[in-house]
């Protein structure tokens, strides 16, 4: 379990460090092309959840609601993982660790900044898709690992 706690700590730290650098070096509206016509770095403050949902709520309601729900999800996941640690296979441990890392990274932003710092803008030439951050990617990758174990790996063990 120590390895996974260290992994979570490292990934949350990396997420927060990258967000710090983005806030420090990128002004709103500026960007740096990473892969032309596909990905560039930008600085965007997402006051809502995915795709800026709920960002129009008044901040007196939005901030405690989103931070509170995020906190409850993180605590619930941690309780579940702790109680079931012995029954989890390695891939599930990785999946949960990535999901918890991402959730904690975004929770820190919501609780202390009232927004999540996003910076990776995915687009195809002039067609924009979304802007996200490392925490979002960790949640997505962790979820995909969990799906794999729920369907593919589970069926191969049966």
The pLDDT score that the predictor gives to residue 19 is 97
Q: Quick one: pLDDT at residue 64?
A: 79
Q: Where are the domains of the chain?
A: 2-26+42-157
Q: What whole-number distance in Å separates Cα of residue 133 and Cα of residue 75?
A: 22
* 109 is known as an active-site residue: no
> Of residues 15, 109, 118, 137, which has the active-site annotation?
118
| Per-residue confidence (pLDDT) for residue 52, from 0 to 100 | 64
C-alpha 21/C-alpha 134 separation (Å) is 13
Distance separating alpha carbons of residues 60 and 50, to the nearest angstrom: 19
Give the pLDDT of the chain (158 residues) as one tens digit per residue.
899 999 999 999 999 999 999 999 998 778 899 999 999 999 988 876 766 666 677 777 777 788 898 999 999 999 999 999 999 999 999 999 999 999 999 999 999 998 899 999 999 999 999 999 999 999 999 999 999 998 887 666 55
Residue 136 designated active-site: yes
**SS3 state at 36:** coil
Identify the pLDDT of residue 86.
95
Catalytic residue among 15, 56, 109, 136: 136
Beta 116-124 vs 31-35: how paired, if at all?
A: unpaired
Q: Write down the pLDDT at residue 30.
A: 84
Cα–chain center distance at 113:
16
Distances (CA, A) of 80 to 62, 66, 74, 155: 27, 21, 10, 23
């Amino acid at each position: 379990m120590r390895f996974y706690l260290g992994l979570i700590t490292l990934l949350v730290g990396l997420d927060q460090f990258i967000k710090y650098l983005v806030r420090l070096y990128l002004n709103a509206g500026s960007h740096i092309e990473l892969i032309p016509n596909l990905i560039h770095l930008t600085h965007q403050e997402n006051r809502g959840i995915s795709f800026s949902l709920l960002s129009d709520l008044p901040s007196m309601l939005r901030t405690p609601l989103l931070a509170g729900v995020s906190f409850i999800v993180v605590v619930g996941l941690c309780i579940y993982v702790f109680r079931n640690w012995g029954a989890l296979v390695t891939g599930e441990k990785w999946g949960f660790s990535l999901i918890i890392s991402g959730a904690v990274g975004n929770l820190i932003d919501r609780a202390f900044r009232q927004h999540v710092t996003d910076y990776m803008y995915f687009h195809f030439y002039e067609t924009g898709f979304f802007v996200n951050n490392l925490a979002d990617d960790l949640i997505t990758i962790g979820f995909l690992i969990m799906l794999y174990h729920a369907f593919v790996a589970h069926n191969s063990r049966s």
